Chain A
């Protein structure tokens, strides 16, 4: 059972336009959400996170929106740049007791920004 889903395996966007990556989750115990960016043969790089007590968090060109009632979050990149081309993973965490916070990942969306 996939608890974090990224339903779009790929997305192509023109340079300068907005990229919107979507993520849905099923586990209502998740209370912290993260986006990671990954290039081939490298580890994921942390981009931005949001706590369930917020509905929006911004960091430069990156904004994450959280809709708890719909169990949906999205990552907006504005403006998109060719260097943003990578695989983006959505991840969620919930305390598993004794302070442990296991991350559950979606399967990723490959973003291609076309110059």
Chain B
């Protein structure tokens, strides 16, 4: 099976702009989670989607949002970008509980 794919792999934006990241899960996986990785904070949970519904949300401001489509593909959006949003954004898919399989990530740099 193909693994989790994320596009784009690298992105440069300026403060105040918005960005949309895309994730295609492993075929058959219905759960998609998003994480932010920064050097200081490690991997932090953003949100999880299952069957097009947000099932769980981490402690991030409302500027971070997401959605999931009927084919399980997911997007996350960050509006009004801040310098501190520079990070590696990781998507993970899961067939059910526990084990999540990660994509390669999207490296976002905000200038």
Contact = CB atoms under 8 A, between A and B. Distances in A.
Interface of A: 32, 34, 36, 41-46, 49, 89, 91, 93, 95-96, 98-108
21 contacts: A41-B104, A41-B105, A42-B104, A43-B4, A43-B92, A43-B104, A43-B105, A89-B42, A89-B43, A95-B97, A96-B55, A99-B97, A101-B97, A102-B33, A102-B48, A102-B56, A102-B58, A103-B43, A105-B43, A105-B44, A108-B42
Given A46-B102, A100-B48, 14 more contacts: A32-B97, A34-B99, A36-B102, A41-B104, A49-B99, A99-B50, A99-B97, A101-B94, A102-B33, A102-B58, A103-B100, A105-B35, A105-B42, A107-B42
A51 B6 CA distance: 29
Interface of B: 4, 6, 33, 35, 42-45, 48, 50, 55-56, 58, 88, 90, 92, 94, 97-105, 107
Contacts of A104: 45
A57 to B, nearest CB: 12
B47 to A, nearest CB: 9
A56 to B, nearest CB: 17
Contacts of B88: 41
A44 B102 contact: yes
A71 to B, nearest CB: 18
Contacts of B102: 36, 43-46
Contacts of A98: 55
A43 B89 CA distance: 9
Given A100-B48, A102-B33, A103-B45, A49 B56 contact: no
B32 to A, nearest CB: 12
Contact of B55 (A44, A100, A103): A100
Contacts of A49: 98-99
Contacts of B99: 34, 46, 49
